[in-house]
Amino acid sequence: MLDAAKRLLNPSLRSDVPPFIVMDVMAAAARIEAAGGHVIHMEVGQPAAPAPATAIAAAQTALAGRRIGYTECLGIPSLRARIARHYTEAYGFQLDPARVVVTTGSSGGFILAFLAMFEPGDRVALANPGYPPYRHILTALGCEPVLIETSAQTRWALDSERLLAAHRKKPLAGVLVASPANPTGTMMDADALSHLIATAEGEGIRVISDEIYHGLDYAFPAVTAVSLSDRALIINSFSKYFCMTGWRVGWLVAPESMVRSIERLQQNFAISVPTLSQVAAQAAFDGRDEMEAVKHGYEENRRILTEGLPKAGLEKFLPVDGAFYLYADVSRFSNDSHDFAKRLLEEVHVAATPGIDFDPIHGKDFVRFSYAGSADEMRDAVARIKRWLVR
């Protein structure tokens, strides 16, 4: 083939984003299971529970009505109104439904938010460690992710001082905060979050707040950035608290001035968000008892792990504030978390995610455990890890 013709087969440079290593762990776990092994899955960040019964019933009714057409691009109006009401119920904040945009999971929300807020070349600050798609989506869109180191002093969250230092080096256009965060499970309290937002906005840095793990807060109540600034853009989802990962439905709360731009982007990218999922999402708000029971299950899992892991040899981990993650320091046993996770899986069939997925700098010392499974699985996992590490 001629060189010119061969080049036609090359993917674009911007599509050259790194893979998600957790997917490799999942594939290895599947091979063990295919050979008859019993794997405890603590690698994937998704609830083991199904969507609330109210959501499933609403979807079934909608399906029986047969016609599933497009919806309004910004989302079904009654769902947008219900999401707005959720802010009154959960945070005591009156939100105008006109600021709510329904999206295809929070993942779809990131693309809309980054495009609406940033130009190519813009620098956007992110906490390190952090959720990998933040930096990979930004890179694919031509923006520059700027990783800012976090530490125990700031509960592994971004802080104003380090944000300003990065901004002074080379101006930032934006900052993304997450509380509770993935992979650390740590949270920012109201003071820390409001200080960071005030500092950023005072410097003309736009703020995005990923609130996907709200509802799953144990250490103290999560604060929504919408109540702290009407210039911040909030991203949320039905995937975690609402147990609806596969339904692919989430939402944004955007500054009023950006809603029309976001609408035009979504009109072109997606037309609308899957109708069945939107109908189910609205009904999910009526399944709160079920979701609270799931949350209480996570609290119990959290107790089992925070009490059990130190006895199993893993004494050092970050504050287990929220979401369903425990981020453990495994450097006592290995300086290669990928190898540690591989052996943990192969030798005692516990699947966990190596920290290098989330932190290119120190991730080799950490492993993330997801505790979204059952209490029995957590007890079994602690026993297996103990057998493996404490010989």
Ligand X SMILES: Cc1ncc(COP(=O)(O)O)c(C=O)c1O
The residue among 71 and 237 lying less far from ligand X, judged by its C-beta, is: 237
Q: Are 192 and 161 in contact (CB under 8 A)?
A: no
The residue among 159 and 210 lying less far from ligand X, judged by its C-beta, is: 210
Rounded to whole angstroms, the Cα distance separating 21 from 338 reads 9
Largest CA distance in the chain: 65
> Smallest distance, Å, CB 306 to ligand X?
20
> Smallest distance, Å, CB 359 to ligand X?
14
The residue among 322 and 382 lying less far from ligand X, judged by its C-beta, is: 322
Q: How many residues are there in the chain?
A: 391
Number of helices followed by number of strands (H, E) in the chain: 13, 12
The residue among 22 and 304 lying less far from ligand X, judged by its C-beta, is: 22
> Smallest distance, Å, CB 143 to ligand X?
17
Q: How far apart are the first and last CA of the chain?
A: 59
Closest CA to 322 of 201, 76, 155, 101: 155
User: Alpha helices, DSSP H only, in 92-131?
Assistant: 105-117
Distances (CA, A) of 306 to 328, 333, 372, 380: 10, 19, 14, 14
The residue among 200 and 273 lying less far from ligand X, judged by its C-beta, is: 273
> Smallest distance, Å, CB 165 to ligand X?
24
> Smallest distance, Å, CB 182 to ligand X?
4
> Smallest distance, Å, CB 383 to ligand X?
27
Distances (CA, A) of 140 to 174, 235, 305: 16, 19, 37
Angle between helix 259-269 and helix 105-117 axes, rounded to 10 deg? 120
Rounded to whole angstroms, the Cα distance separating 146 from 73 reads 32
Chain centre to alpha carbon of residue 116: 20
Chain centre to alpha carbon of residue 252: 14
Rounded to whole angstroms, the Cα distance separating 172 from 30 reads 42
> Smallest distance, Å, CB 170 to ligand X?
26
The residue among 326 and 348 lying less far from ligand X, judged by its C-beta, is: 326
Residues that bind ligand X (CB under 6 A): 45, 105-107, 131, 178, 182, 210, 212, 237, 239, 245, 250
CA neighbours within 13 Å on the CB side: how many for 365? Answer: 9
Rounded to whole angstroms, the Cα distance separating 256 from 253 reads 9
> Smallest distance, Å, CB 24 to ligand X?
16
The residue among 205 and 212 lying less far from ligand X, judged by its C-beta, is: 212
The residue among 32 and 115 lying less far from ligand X, judged by its C-beta, is: 115
The residue among 97 and 250 lying less far from ligand X, judged by its C-beta, is: 250
Return the residue nearest ligand X (CB atom). Answer: 105
User: Could you count the other beta carbons within 10 Å of the beta carbon of residue 260?
Assistant: 12
> Smallest distance, Å, CB 34 to ligand X?
25
